[in-house]
Structure 1
Amino acid sequence: MNEVTMARADALDEVAVAASAGSGDKQGDKRAYENNKLHKRLCRLVGQAIGDFNMIEDGDKVMVCLSGGKDSYALLDILMTLRERAPIGFELVAVNLDQKQPNFPPEVLPAYLDKLGVPYHIENQDTYSIVKRLIPEGKTTCSLCSRLRRGILYRVADELGCNKIALGHHRDDILETFFLNMFFGAKIKGMPAKLVSDDGKHMVIRPLAYVKEADTERYAEVKGFPIIPCDLCGSQENLQRKQIKALMRDWEKKHPGRVENIFSALSTVVPSHLMDRDLFGFTGLTTDGIANPDGDIAFDEEPCSTPSTPSGTIPLQAV
C-alpha cells in the first residue's frame, strides 16, 4: 500500500470525475466530486492505518467481520479497493455471524455479497436465546453477547485459515472505549488498532482506526449499503456507550477540534507524567543535574494552558 500506488489511483479517480463533468447537471457534478473526495479520504486513512501498524502483509488471509452495519460494510468496501491497488497480495473473506435475532433478514447479506463477488461465510449460531435466557430484563446484553460472538469468530477464523481478523471499529469507537474505561473502569485503556487476541492465536486489526464515524455514515448513504439493524442491543437507550457518544458529539459541536486532540493524545503518551509505577520507574528515579525539557514544571500555575506569548514557558534558570 505504498504512496506511489495510492497517488496513481487518486489521479485516475480525478480523471474519472473530470470526465463526468460537463453534463449540465452542476449539482450532480458537485455531488460526484464530494463523493469521490470521501472515497479517496477513506482509502487514504485506511491505507495509512494499515501502514502505520503493519496490519496487512503479503500473503495474509483477512477475515472481515460483517455485521450488516454501516461500519463493517465500509470496511469491506475500502479493503476491496485497496487490495486492487496494493503492491502486495492478500485475500479477503467476509464473515457474518447470524445470531438468530428477531427480524434478522438472512437473505440480505448473501445477496449483497454474491453481487459483490467476494468470498464469504455465514455462521449460524443462536446466541440470542442464550443472552435472553441469562441476562435479566432491563440489563444491558453487550458484554455476554460480545464474549459469545468473539469465541465463535475465533473458531471460524481457524476453520477458514485466516491469520488476520478485521473489525469495523472506527476512531469514535476507540475514543468511546477510552472514556468508558476511564469513567467506569478506572483504567487508562483504549481499543488498539492492532492486538493479539485474548486466546493468543489470532491477530485482530482495526483498519478504520483513523476514520470518523460521520464519514462512514455518509459513505453508507452514498453506497446504499443494505443496513441491518441490531434488535438485540440497538434499542437499549441506557447504554453507557451511548452516553459517551452524546458527550463527544456535544464537545465536537461546542468545541471543534477537542475530540481530534484527545484522539491524538492516545498516540502521544508521556509515562513519566502519569502515575503507573509499573510503566515508569518512579521508585528508582534520581537527579543527575542535567537539564531536561520534559522534566517537571511544578511551579507553573497552569502547566497545561496554551502559552500566552510566542516564547512559551520561561525556563526556571531565567527567573
Structure 2
Amino acid sequence: MQLVCPAGNLPALLAAIEAGADAVYVGFRDQTNARAFPGLNFDEQEIRDGIAYAHARGRKVYLALNTYPDSARLEQWFRAVDHAADLGADAIIVAEMAVLDYACRQHPHMARHLSVQGSATTAAALRYAYERFGIARAVLPRVLSLQQVQRLCQTAPVPLEVFAFGSLCIMVEGRCQLSSYVTGKSPNRHGVCSPANFVRWEELPDNNRSVRLNGVLIDQFGADEPAGYPTVCKGRYQVGEEIFHALEEPTSLNTLELLPQLAQAGVVALKVEGRQRGVAYVRTVARVWREAIDRHAGSAQDWRPYERWQQALAAHAEGQQTTLGPYHRAWH
C-alpha cells in the first residue's frame, strides 16, 4: 500500500519524504485547496523545489484542487489545473465536476484523483466519476464502516484510498455547513473551516482563555488545558444544564490496528490528514506508518500493532486521544 502524507509547506514535504512517504499532497497558496490558511501552502519556487526533491527520490506529488468554485471563479481553478500540469504534478485531487471535466479534456495524461470532498460513497458514484472524467483513484469519505470499505473495494472501478490517521470530520466531506452558518464563508468554497479573520481569543481571569468565531463563543479553556484551533463541530456548548462537546470531541482517527484488513480488502493507499500540522507531526506519523506498512508487507501473518507505534501516534493526536471512528460500527 502507498503511504500518502500531508505537506503544508516545504519543510513538511522534505520531512515526509525523508520519513518514508511514497507521495505527498500539497496546495497552492489560494482558495483552490481546502487548507487555505494564512501562511500555509506553497509559493511558486517552493512548489517547484518540492516537486524536484520528491521526483529525484522516486516519490510522487499530488496537488489538491479540492474546493468548489462558484461559476464566476471557475477560471481560477482551470488555471490551477494548467499550472499543476506545467509543474509536472503526478496527480491532481479534485472534487468539483467542472474542474474534473476541464482536466480530463485539457490534460488527459495527468492523473485525476477524486477528492474526499467529492463525497463518493457508493459504487455507482465512483463508476460515474470514472466513466465521465476518467479518474485514476478515489479517496473515500471518513463516514464509512470497515465493511462498507471492503465492499467498495470489490465493486469500485478504480483503486481506492482511505484516510488512515489524522483529524476526524463528523460531516460528510464536501457538505459541511457549520462554519458557513456561523461566518457566512463556506469551507467548501473558501478553503478553510473557521477562517482566521473570524477567530478571536480572549484572556480571562486566572489565566483562562476563551475563543469566539465571528462573535459566537466556541469554547473556554483552563490555564493548563491545551487548546486546539477552533471549529464549530469541536466546540463545547451548553445543552440543558450541561456544558460538553455536544457534536464531537477533539480526537484523531487512528486505523493502525485495521491495517491488515485494509490491505486484504485491496485498499491501494493510506492517507494521513494534516496539511495544517507542523513538521514534527508529519515526520513522526510518517515514520510510524512507514514501518508498520513495511513490516506487514514483509510478514503479514505475524504482524501486530506495536505499543510504541500507538504511543507515538497518540502523542500527536488531536486532544491526545484516538478513535476508529465510523470504521468501528457493529451494524452494517
Task: Give the TM-score of the pair, scaled to structure 2.
Answer: 0.30
The answer to which structure has the higher helix fraction is 1
The structure with the larger Rg is 1
Instruction: Name the one with the larger strand percent.
Output: 2
